[in-house]
């Protein structure tokens, strides 16, 4: 499987309705309200249990108040003992990735923490209210609190599971949407009429110069470029060898058109296994296209680009000299690099590194591997 980085927070997920956002943000922005709500819930549950187990007791009698105190300590203690471990586990063990492990850890923590709370509450009332030694404690007082634990624990952890499942479903939907947008954007950019128009002009010049050999090669390279674009648009990743063959064809077309105004140095180790390294399709070409789009070229001061493969670091470094030129309106959307970074976020946790100095622009693409 490919490395996966689905931990990134959603940016394009559907916006929940205002009421849902209000309640979702209640605990985040107003923690005292969350505590007040849970305290009210514990009080209400304690009253219900007290009326159930002490139905014949007068409302403010000592027996009723003691029963209420028992119930309140148990319900609040068990809520804290199950709630905080649940939140802690949510940040470390995902239900959707490791369901069995999460179930075992949850069960163990729930039992241990609940027994600790029951021991403290029962022992405390036994010693400080009933004035009896702790050694007289039996297993019977543990039965009802354990039943309460089951109810509270089922609620807490079922909620965690459902929330994790919901977030996973949102992430999957976001991935599909981002990939669809990236594919469409890539296809739209790669079949840019400007590129085709410039290529056809270059081909016309070759024909007029009576250079059939170069013209034939140019047509073949142009066909290879568009064949690769069409073949790879449905793929998430492609072998680096295929991408570099496409890049060589693309560079040939641009150098035929620009002549000595463009110099490209491609440095690949001869023994590198390019088939084992993967990249998103058209990723390298996008960087070359950006360099040509935003920088001027001339015979006297050619635009220099270099592609360097670092096999040990599993990185492909693309750098170009800076020769700024004014880009006409509508020729650049400014979304190419952002879309490339978004595509990488769904494939690996390693980021696309972008560095700009006074003299050059450098982009480092992490290379993926099949595992």
Place of tokens 């879309």: 339
pLDDT over 90 at 305, yes or no: yes
**Tell me: the pLDDT tens digits for 209-230?**
888 888 899 899 989 988 888 8
Range in 16-30, 160-174, 286-300, 341-355 with the lowest mean pLDDT: 16-30
The bridge status of strand 315-321 relative to strand 360-366 is antiparallel
Residue 75 is predicted with a pLDDT of 78
Give the CA angle between residues 113, 114, 120 to the nearest 5°: 90
Average pLDDT of the residues in 237-262 = 91
Which among 286, 296, 211 has a CA at the least distance from the CA of 258?
Answer: 296
DSSP secondary structure string for all residues of 163-199: HHHHHHHHHHHHHHHHHHHHHHHHHHHHT-HHHHHHH
The bridge status of strand 303-310 relative to strand 262-267 is parallel
- Residues forming a β-bridge with 295: 324
Residue 328 is predicted with a pLDDT of 67
Residue 316 is predicted with a pLDDT of 95
Range in 6-10, 38-42, 125-129, 286-290 with the lowest mean pLDDT: 6-10
pLDDT over 90 at 309, yes or no: yes
Task: Give how far Cα 129 sits from Cα of 50, 63, 121, 134, 139, Å.
Answer: 18, 12, 11, 12, 19
Residue 15 is predicted with a pLDDT of 43
| pTM of the model as a whole | 0.51
Which tops the pLDDT comparison, 114 or 248? 248
pLDDT over 70 at 160, yes or no: no
* Paired tokens of 32: 């005292």
Residue 84 is predicted with a pLDDT of 73
**Distance, CA of 228 to CA of 223 (rounded, Å):** 9
DSSP secondary structure string for all residues of 291-331: HHHHB---SSS-EEEEEEEETTTTEEEEEEE--B-PPPTTT
**Cβ neighbourhood burial of 147 (10 Å; 0-12, 13-18, 19+):** exposed
DSSP secondary structure string for all residues of 217-285: HHHHHHHHHHHHHHHHTT-S-EEHHHHHHHHHHHHHHHHHHHGGGEEEEEE--TT--GGGEEE-TTHHH
Residue 30 is predicted with a pLDDT of 46
Which among 54, 49, 40, 86 has a CA at the least distance from the CA of 71?
Answer: 49
Percentage of the residues of the chain whose pLDDT score is greater than 90: 16
**Tell me: the pLDDT tens digits for 45-100?**
778 877 887 777 777 788 788 888 877 887 788 777 777 776 777 677 766 666 77
Q: Decide if 125 contacts 132 (C-beta within 8 A).
A: no
pLDDT averaged over every residue in the chain: 77
């Amino acid at each position: 499987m490919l490395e996966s980085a689905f931990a990134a927070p959603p940016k394009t997920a559907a916006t929940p309705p205002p009421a849902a956002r209000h309640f979702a943000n209640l605990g985040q922005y107003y923690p005292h309200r969350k505590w007040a709500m849970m305290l009210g819930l514990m009080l209400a549950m304690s009253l219900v249990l007290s009326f159930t187990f002490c139905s014949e007791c007068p409302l403010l009698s000592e027996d009723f108040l003691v029963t209420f105190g028992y119930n309140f300590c148990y319900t609040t203690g068990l809520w804290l003992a199950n709630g905080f471990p649940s939140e802690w586990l949510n940040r470390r063990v995902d239900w959707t990735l490791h369901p069995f492990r999460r179930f075992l850890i949850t069960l163990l923590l729930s039992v241990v923490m609940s027994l600790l709370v029951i021991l403290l509450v029962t022992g405390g009332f036994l010693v400080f209210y009933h004035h009896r030694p702790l050694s007289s404690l039996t297993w019977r007082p543990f039965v009802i609190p354990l039943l309460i634990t089951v109810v509270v624990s089922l609620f807490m952890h079922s909620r965690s599971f459902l929330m994790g499942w919901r977030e996973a479903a949102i992430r999957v939907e976001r991935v599909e949407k981002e990939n669809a947008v990236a594919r469409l954007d890539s296809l739209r950019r790669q079949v840019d009429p400007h590129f085709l128009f410039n290529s056809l002009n270059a081909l016309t010049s070759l024909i007029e110069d009576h250079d059939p050999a170069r013209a034939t090669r140019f047509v073949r390279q142009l066909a290879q470029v568009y064949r690769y674009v069409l073949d790879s648009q449905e793929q998430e990743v492609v072998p680096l060898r295929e991408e570099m063959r496409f890049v060589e064809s693309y560079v040939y077309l641009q150098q035929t058109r620009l002549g000595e105004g463009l110099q490209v140095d491609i440095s690949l180790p001869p023994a590198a296994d390019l088939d084992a390294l993967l990249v998103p399709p058209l990723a390298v070409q996008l960087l070359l296209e950006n360099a040509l789009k935003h920088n001027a070229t001339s015979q006297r001061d050619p635009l220099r680009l270099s592609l360097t493969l670092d096999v040990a670091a599993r990185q492909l470094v693309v750098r170009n000299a800076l020769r700024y030129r004014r880009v006409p309106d509508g020729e650049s959307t400014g979304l190419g690099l952002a879309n490339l970074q978004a595509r990488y976020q769904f494939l690996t946790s390693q980021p696309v590194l972008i560095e700009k100095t006074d003299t050059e622009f450098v982009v480092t693409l992490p290379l993926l591997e099949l595992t």
